[in-house]
Structure 1
Amino acid sequence: MNRIGNGLLVAMAITWSGMVFSAVQNLPQPVFSGQDGEQAAADNAASPAPAEQAAPASTEAETAAKAEEQALPSGIGWKLVRSLEMGDSGKFVHMVLIEKGRQADKTIYSSAIHRLCAKEKEFCRIRFWVQSYLIPEKVSLTLEQQKTQQADHLFNRAAGIHRTLWACTVDSTSESCIQ
């Protein structure tokens, strides 16, 4: 398939994933799905359950850790692990975990791209992995992290870039693979 065909296919997948995401927001949450983290954290902070009010310190720490985990956006098949600022630029690189065994499903990537980049008008970068221990804690990647990266989405309006690169294991027909 040529570049135009690939571009149209990706655009259709992103549009479709947005419609699917809207339709499934009210379904029970599987392991990788979540509510809007800020709203869920606000709801939890505004109305704690009676059992939490009288809970010992260790339970409160667990509750706080769960609330922090819920604060990160996620969806069916993916979860934002961390967002790292590029220097002092105010631009962030989002590090996303894809559910193991579903890394070939491009609709999962499209869903994450749509959710994390929808409000970004100038810049959005998302990097995807399957193993959580390989997700970097800084913007620069080690060779191992680079080799195991599943996809890299970049939107930079100033530079005129809007592309998604795939690992050869995700899209072997891609003209340029990450690895």
Structure 2
Amino acid sequence: MNNIGKGLLIALAITWSSLAFSVQEEEHAAASAPAEETASAAAESETVAKADENTLPSGIGWQLIRKVEMGNSGKFVNMVLIEKGRQADKTIYSSAIHKLCANEKEFCRIRFWVQKYFIPEKASLTLEQQKSQQADHLFNRAADIHRTLWACTIDPTSESCIQ
């Protein structure tokens, strides 16, 4: 066996023994973990459970990605992701509208997209975001508006589709 082969064998033996000792140390440390760590782990799982309770609403075929305030008005726009391949199913939009607007007596706005990367971080839209938008639902009691606009690809018969 040449010198390179011997060197590789020695390196492999050293690496393996280091690995074996580190696994042994981890097992020993886990076996002697103080009750404090167990309590902190329980607290962490409780925090995760609380986070799950505060997750954004979703339903079959849709998910609320974020709510964005319109300026400082106290009115919010719901930004919703529709499952790809289901964007022509208007019942999915209807389900999201009913769930997100159920408790809103004065104002509710929902904008829908199929591609998550087009969903804006703020209420105003870029031209690309507007072009990729699938639907826009608006309820505004003060202005007497209650309408849903659809992308022309979803409802080409609509006179006022989103282009």
Task: Determine if the TM-score, normalized by the shorter chain, exceeds 0.5.
Answer: yes
Query: For 1:97, which of 81, 89, 97 is the aligned residue?
Result: 81
2:63 match: secondary structure: strand
Query: For 2:138, which of 141, 154, 158 is the aligned residue?
Result: 154
Larger relative contact order (CA 8 Å, sep ≥ 6)? 1
Is 1:86 matched with 2:86? no
Q: 1:55 to 1:141 in 2, by over 3 A?
A: same
Residue in 1 aligned with 2:3? none
Unmatched tracts of structure 1, length 5 or more: 1-51
**RMSD (CA atoms):** 2.4
1:64: Cα distance to partner? 4.1
Give the alignment's TM-score, normalised by structure 1. 0.64
Residue in 1 aligned with 2:21? none
- Write the mapping of 1:98-113 to structure 2, written as runs, cut at 5 A: 98-113=82-97
Unmatched tracts of structure 2, length 5 or more: 1-37
Q: 1:79 to 1:53 in 2, by over 3 A?
A: farther
1:67: Cα distance to partner? 3.0
CA distance in 2, matches of 1:66, 1:154: 31
Q: 1:70 to 1:170 in 2, by over 3 A?
A: farther
1:153 match: secondary structure: strand
- Write the mapping of 1:1-179 to structure 2, written as runs, cut at 5 A: 55=41, 64=48, 67=51, 71-179=55-163
How many pairs were matched up? 125
Larger of the two Rg values belongs to structure = 2
- Equivalent pairs: percent with the same residue? 81
CA distance in 2, matches of 1:137, 1:65: 26
Residue in 1 aligned with 2:14? none
1:55: Cα distance to partner? 4.3
CA distance in 1, matches of 2:52, 2:137: 25
